[in-house]
Each structure stands twice: as structure tokens, then as C-alpha cells.
Amino acid sequence: MPANLPPQYFEKEKELKKAKNPQERISVLEDLLAIVPKHKGTEKLQAQLKTKIAKLKTESQKSPAVARHTAAFQVEKTGAGQVVVIGSPNSGKSSLIKALTNANPDIGDYPFTTRLPSPAMMPYENIQIQLVDMPPITQDYFEFWQAELIKAADAILLVLDISLPEPAEDFLTLLAKLEEKRIDLVPKEREVPQEKQQFMKKTLILANKTDSPRAEENLTSIKEFLDPGFEPVPVSIFEEHTLTDLKTRIYVLLDVIRVYSKIPGKKVDHEDPYVFKRGSSLMDMAKAVHKDFAQRLKYARIWGKNKYQGQKVTRSYILEDEDIIELHI
């Protein structure tokens, strides 16, 4: 028996993606449960929602000691992608995060100002990208959980301080520490097979503090130490245009696309795109909207660049950036 869910259900369901903590998630799930029409066709869905709510409630009631311990070492992914920011002490990681997001991290001219991983959301056009501030990596300090966070990330920003007399020194120390954990930084263009994505991390190298007096000559000297394919990006918290440029580069680094869902007969909502890895198919989109769509999808109509507008496509269609999709079941 079909579920025949009302449009409000799918509207509400979008809020799940935006929920920032278990409490918010519980509240959205409870709303969804209230919206679901109560009949035989929705019994399974009702049960699933109830199980999710119960699980979240149990988790949030666990002893604070346990919760604090795990929370300190894990950063739950939210938004269009998770980018972990690494570098030596004082390289300017927290300052950059402060400049790119609404977060207000501690900043200081002494090492280890940052002690714990701390996520912040960077708005980019109509999406949000998660940046994770980290304590520094040094010869003597590179914790297990730092490596785990790097391995789990979608991409890495490596912040170098090019106001230092020998910026390459810190860079080489950092690479050696990463190598101990078999982590290899690679430029965006490098092809990384699926099974190696945990250890070969797409990285943007930032030449930070480009406002400083020796920046230009230090930038030239640092290039000699970089693997081919890496082009350090000059940035400074005091030069707005470098930050604007950086935002775009972070988006490009993630290699994602934005797709808009359209309800037949209605206008498209450009404010709230679905975000997918490049190469995702129409089926991935259907699954993201709802599993009912995934099972019963017949075809979709597409509006987008280089297309006949309203063109029909089938399940295996590979989505393109800025496609507008109308799913038909």
C-alpha cells in the first residue's frame, strides 16, 4: 500500500539536514511523525521514525562524562562538506576561521591557543560548508584523534605562515608527522580511488599572512618544497579579496554539485539545494528526497544548462551542477 505522504512531510524533512544537535533532530522527527497520515501504508515509516526518536533520546541521556569524552574527539559532519584546517602553531588557522565564518575562536600569538577541534559553518552562496579548527601539529604533538579527524574529512586546508623566516621548516615537519600516520596530501586535480580516500586527502595549501613584509620572497621559496600540482594560495585576514577567492576555492576543492528539487506545477526553491558528490546519479537524488521515490521513480524532467528545458531523463542520468529536477513516480 503506498504511503501517499503529503508535501508538508517532505518540506519538514529538509529541516533534518539543518538540525544542529540531537535535541533539534528529535523535535523535527516528532513533527514528521505527527504529519504522517496514520494508515496501513505508513506503518513501517511510523515505526522507523519512532525508533530514531527513541535512539536519539537514549543517546542524549547518556552520562555526561561519556558524552564529553566522545564529543571532544569527533566532529559530526554537517552542511555540504567537512574541511579540516591544519597547520603549525600560530600559522593563523583560527584567525582564518573567524574571518570566514560567524564563529569567534580564541586567537593568540602564543602556540596552542586552540586545544580542541571546533566546527564552524562557512556560508558560500546558497550552501554552508563546515570548517573544523584544530590544535596545531608539531614534532611533539600529533594525537591519534587528530589523524582520525583528518582521515574522515572531505578535504583539508593546510595553513602555512609565510611571515616566518623559514616557512618550509614547519611544512616539512608537518608532512613527516602526517606520513607517520600514512596520510598523504594531494592536489585537487589528482585522481584518488575510492578505497584510498581515507589516506590521500585533497588539500589546499594556504600561504597565510601574505600582508607581511617578507611574504613575496617566502612564497617563492616555499614553492620549491611543494609536490608538483600544488599551487599555494596567498591569503591574509587583512585582505578581503583573498578571503573571497578562498571561499570559492574551498567550494571547488569539495568537488560537489548543487541540485534543486521542483514539485510539479510549483516554482523551484533556489534557497535550499541538495548537495551531492560530482558523478552522482538521478537515483542518488531520488534516495535523498525519499526512499519511496527511489523505489518508484519512473523518470524525471530536467531544467538546466545545455539541455532542452523540461527534458526527460532516466534513473542513470548523471546530475550536473545547478540542475533543476522534477521527480515523477
Ligand X SMILES: Nc1nc2c(ncn2[C@@H]2O[C@H](COP(=O)(O)OP(=O)(O)OP(=O)(O)O)[C@@H](O)[C@H]2O)c(=O)[nH]1
Which of residues 167 and 273 has its CB atom nearest to ligand X in the complex?
167
| CB within 8 Å of 300: residues ≥ 6 apart | 282, 285, 286, 312, 313, 317, 325, 326, 327, 328
Q: Does 139 bind ligand X (CB under 6 A)?
A: no
Amino acid letter, 226: L
37 contacts 17 by C-beta, under 8 angstroms: no
Q: Does 101 bind Mg ion (CB under 5 A)?
A: no
Q: Does 93 bind ligand X (CB under 6 A)?
A: yes
Least separation in angstroms between residue 199's CB and ligand X is 24
Strand pairing class (118-124; 127-133): antiparallel
Q: Does 42 bind ligand X (CB under 6 A)?
A: no
Complete DSSP assignment for 267-301: ---TTS-EEEETT-BHHHHHHHH-HHHHHH--EEE
Q: Does 92 bind ligand X (CB under 6 A)?
A: yes
Least separation in angstroms between residue 164's CB and Mg ion is 16
Site map 238..277 versus ligand X, x via CB under 6 A: x---------------------------------------
Choose, by CB under 6 A, the member of 82, 94, 146, 218 that binds ligand X.
94
Please list every residue from 190 through 219 that binds ligand X, using CB under 6 A: 208-209, 211-212
Q: Does 232 bind ligand X (CB under 6 A)?
A: no
Choose, by CB under 5 A, the member of 42, 88, 91, 114 that binds Mg ion.
114
> Nearest-CA neighbor of 293 among 259, 257, 263, 324?
263
> Nearest-CA neighbor of 155 among 268, 272, 251?
251
Q: Does 236 bind ligand X (CB under 6 A)?
A: yes
Q: Which stretch binds ligand X (CB under 6 A): 101-109, 141-149, 251-259, 268-276?
A: 101-109
307 contacts 319 by C-beta, under 8 angstroms: no
Complete DSSP assignment for 122-186: EEETTEEEEEEE-----SS---HHHHHHHHH-SEEEEEEETTSS-HHHHHHHHHHHHHHTT-EEE
Which of residues 85 and 282 has its CB atom nearest to Mg ion in the complex?
85
> Nearest-CA neighbor of 13 among 325, 314, 272?
272
Choose, by CB under 6 A, the member of 113, 118, 128, 218 that binds ligand X.
113
Which of residues 32 and 162 has its CB atom nearest to ligand X in the complex?
162
Cβ neighbourhood burial of 162 (10 Å; 0-12, 13-18, 19+): buried
Least separation in angstroms between residue 104's CB and ligand X is 12
* Biggest alpha carbon–alpha carbon distance for the chain: 72
119 contacts 71 by C-beta, under 8 angstroms: no
Site map 18..37 versus ligand X, x via CB under 6 A: --------------------
Choose, by CB under 6 A, the member of 42, 101, 114, 118 that binds ligand X.
114
Q: Which stretch binds ligand X (CB under 6 A): 24-32, 88-96, 185-193, 285-293?
A: 88-96
Least separation in angstroms between residue 87's CB and ligand X is 6
Chain positions contacting ligand X, by CB under 6 A: 87, 89-95, 107-109, 111-114, 135-136, 208-209, 211-212, 236-238
